[in-house]
Structure 1
């Protein structure tokens, strides 16, 4: 059953959940539970007491039997509480009505966060989903960052794995996965858009760097040669990090607003206050670099305003008195240091890009040195080129993959999320033969 929204905004936020009560006559309980399990759109919560029946407590008992035994029974009816996606609730209620069951909406309990079901559509969304799911469930109030997280990941990976030849290998692997090859790894097939994105980014950066299985000269450097201009590459890596952090702050502001209120979005270190400090420090660095006094003064005012807002929020959260003041000062200092450290951390995009280029240059130097000797050395040159590129590809793919994930989680997601939510887990219990024939 399709429970996703139809608009772009609906696809960016979790599916709206409704608190429900499932009610069925005792004699129709098996049929109603079977229909709910087949629909797979209701997260059921047992509300009755734990049964003392040894048959039900047996580990071999079916999930259907255990759920049946945990109903709250009153006046000949069995009742459960649960959660259901609002787009699917009415349709399921209509299916239950002929069986004597009802799926009634309830008021949302205070301070209870509904489970999260994300309306990810298409192969790209499903392919990027593990990036977010490995970190944790998206809170119900937050927007889904899956697509942006996937794009950020492949860009960072491509910059560290910038070689057009290696990128084309990744694209070939993606094509094989899309064609359902190899058959022995079915779980990897849905990952082909993710692999294709990483391959495309690596190929593009390889073209920019003039790298094709190393500095072979087959591609001219469109932008820069990493080993020839390392400082420029380091500045570019930090610049890419700054852009990604800015997007993370924008998402953080939206999430803080949805999680609490406009005030929470204004005062939170991962909201407007933190974004102002980040922007102010960035503009201050630009003002100092360009020797622009007006720009530096304006940047200082923006950063100071952000610190005041963040300090007010932190002070209120800390309580009152001298201890709260001390705690606020320490947290503000940590906020400034963390912003600088997070930004500098993106220099690893350039550092590992340089490592990849250096390994490629080493392999190519060994290849050309053997080739020029002629004779059997040409065979050695081919072996050096092949084995060297295989080792470089494998090592750098792992390193770039881990480092991109580290930047995603520690530098970006720490601003997007204040915490994690709880994933929606629909009940899928199916009746056994004894329930079917009861």
Structure 2
């Protein structure tokens, strides 16, 4: 074991999980060496007092008794069945007790153990006192309070709760998602990106609302939306498939936008649109001319989403006490002022209103860009750190220039990405027109087989494509602005079902 320990260990048996053995120690060294073996996770096996003689004699007697019992059971199967029927309740009770002991043993293996203090006792009379086990772990606040109430009347159990929320790399709490049942299926998308770190905003509710809304706008059909709603709900209800629950929620908004667009299984002459028809609605845009209305609305919606994500980033950064991410980053206060100013100016220009003066525009645009350009030295200044330009001032300016160019390009490209919402709304209507044309609906006697098969094809193919495109918008245009997903999963020692 160790060169300076007076002990001999003899291995008796071994498998892939355990090693059985026996060790010998001098009496005056027993306490110290017992502690060493305990530290190596050896568990003592206490031989019951009912066995006499040598170990070999006890083993031989037990083996003979075991063989006799097996032979008696094999000789009389009817008696064996009667025995099990008679003692069924005791057997089940024993199984439950053994399972409980097994769980307790598994917990004990994770605990630090002390055998108490034996000072003042004669060495020859050494007997280890009752072990004291120490467990450290994470519990939800609700479970921790319930546990404290459960042990309040037991003087042998102590529970200390560390509520210090200061940052500590060795004490980073795990994450346990907690969302309403309606949003539960969308936790799948959150986990695919990464669990939120402790203290970071859980974006499940956000992705649940935005994903369902955007999917509905891109796949607006009242008939097909109802199919997605009902089919997804039935699969989620009986098969518990998270993706089916997501499809069901998306089907609600598909049905809603189907009524807004006046589309039922591709037919646009059954109901009048509450809002507009994607393929027909046009509007005049300055310097561009006529453009589809849903494209303009999609870009405006995307601008609002980007601004909201910037606000989320500021909130998360405030919790993390990250100065740069709060004030000087692309998605910080500086980025919010710059992009928000751009949104306001574009809105004023398109509606024909007068633009702000040159000085105001300079403050709205140039000042935030300058702050983002100098984010590193400004952060060091606020945090009272020495200003350092890696590679020199010249390299810092060149690098900052290209970073600003990339920032402006990303603002523009991220905004244009939301055009796909309008594009797929128009695409869906166009595909259904092709299906109706192939079915001969214009002649007044459509081929219903073609219509049914066409609806199934469009619903399956375009539904899959739209689902992927919406998820792309969520991850690249939204999550990347405010969400890190660097948390680790809270894994309980046993599930609620096992606890019951």
- Could you tell me whether the CA contact under 8 Å between 1:288 and 1:296 is conserved in 2? no
- Could you tell me whether the CA contact under 8 Å between 1:273 and 1:310 is conserved in 2? yes
**Alpha-carbon distance in 2 for matches of 1:63, 1:269:** 51
Cα 1:168–1:50, aligned 2, differ >3 Å: closer, same or farther? farther
Match of 2:23? Answer: none
Match of 2:148? Answer: 93
Greater RCO, 1 or 2 (C-alpha within 8 Å, sep 6+):
1
Deviation, 1:312, is 2.9
Deviation, 1:413, is 0.7
User: Does 2:173 align with 1:117?
Assistant: no
**Alpha-carbon distance in 1 for matches of 2:138, 2:224:** 47
Greater shift, 312-321 or 386-395, is seen at: 312-321
Match of 1:409? Answer: 475
Match of 1:311? Answer: 373
Unaligned runs of 5+ in 1: 1-47, 56-61, 433-438
Q: Which of 202, 206, 210 in structure 2 is aligned with 1:148?
A: 206
SS in 2 for 1:363: helix
Match of 1:39? Answer: none
Deviation, 1:73, is 2.4
**Alpha-carbon distance in 1 for matches of 2:135, 2:448:** 69
- Could you tell me whether the CA contact under 8 Å between 1:280 and 1:300 is conserved in 2? no
Deviation, 1:346, is 0.5
Unaligned runs of 5+ in 2: 1-37, 46-101, 117-130, 282-290, 381-386
SS in 2 for 1:81: coil
SS in 1 for 2:292: helix
SS in 2 for 1:340: helix
User: Does 2:117 align with 1:73?
Assistant: no
State the TM-score, normalized to the length of structure 1: 0.74
Match of 2:137? Answer: 82
Match of 1:256? Answer: 317
**Alpha-carbon distance in 1 for matches of 2:110, 2:253:** 52
**Alpha-carbon distance in 1 for matches of 2:308, 2:209:** 12
- Could you tell me whether the CA contact under 8 Å between 1:89 and 1:103 is conserved in 2? no
**Alpha-carbon distance in 2 for matches of 1:270, 1:83:** 33
Q: Which of 72, 87, 103 in structure 1 is aligned with 2:159?
A: 103
Greater shift, 399-408 or 230-239, is seen at: 230-239
Match of 2:76? Answer: none
**Alpha-carbon distance in 2 for matches of 1:109, 1:260:** 11
**Alpha-carbon distance in 2 for matches of 1:68, 1:429:** 18
RMSD value over aligned CA atoms?
A: 3.1
**Alpha-carbon distance in 1 for matches of 2:262, 2:495:** 56
Match of 2:356? Answer: 294
User: Does 2:391 align with 1:333?
Assistant: no
Deviation, 1:225, is 2.1
**Alpha-carbon distance in 2 for matches of 1:411, 1:162:** 22
Deviation, 1:414, is 1.0
SS in 2 for 1:92: helix
**Alpha-carbon distance in 1 for matches of 2:371, 2:174:** 32
Match of 1:217? Answer: 269
**Alpha-carbon distance in 1 for matches of 2:489, 2:319:** 18
Cα 1:95–1:301, aligned 2, differ >3 Å: closer, same or farther? same
SS in 1 for 2:137: strand
**Alpha-carbon distance in 1 for matches of 2:359, 2:347:** 11
Deviation, 1:206, is 1.6
User: For this pair of structures, how many residues does the alignment match?
Assistant: 364
Deviation, 1:399, is 0.9
Deviation, 1:133, is 2.2
SS in 1 for 2:492: coil
- Could you tell me whether the CA contact under 8 Å between 1:281 and 1:299 is conserved in 2? no
Match of 1:126? Answer: 184
Match of 1:237? Answer: 298
Deviation, 1:411, is 0.4
- Could you tell me whether the CA contact under 8 Å between 2:221 and 2:264 is conserved in 1? yes
**Alpha-carbon distance in 1 for matches of 2:279, 2:495:** 59
User: Does 2:234 align with 1:186?
Assistant: no
Deviation, 1:387, is 0.4
Q: Deviations over 1:276-333 (max 9, x none)?
A: 2211222333355447332776455223232233223244579413333333333222
SS in 2 for 1:84: coil
**Alpha-carbon distance in 2 for matches of 1:353, 1:312:** 42
**Alpha-carbon distance in 1 for matches of 2:204, 2:317:** 18
Deviation, 1:215, is 3.8
**Alpha-carbon distance in 2 for matches of 1:388, 1:415:** 39
Deviation, 1:405, is 0.7
Deviation, 1:88, is 2.5
- Could you tell me whether the CA contact under 8 Å between 1:216 and 1:364 is conserved in 2? no
Match of 2:80? Answer: none
**Alpha-carbon distance in 2 for matches of 1:50, 1:341:** 59
Greater shift, 144-153 or 284-293, is seen at: 284-293
Greater shift, 285-294 or 242-251, is seen at: 285-294
SS in 2 for 1:73: strand
Cα 1:99–1:356, aligned 2, differ >3 Å: closer, same or farther? farther
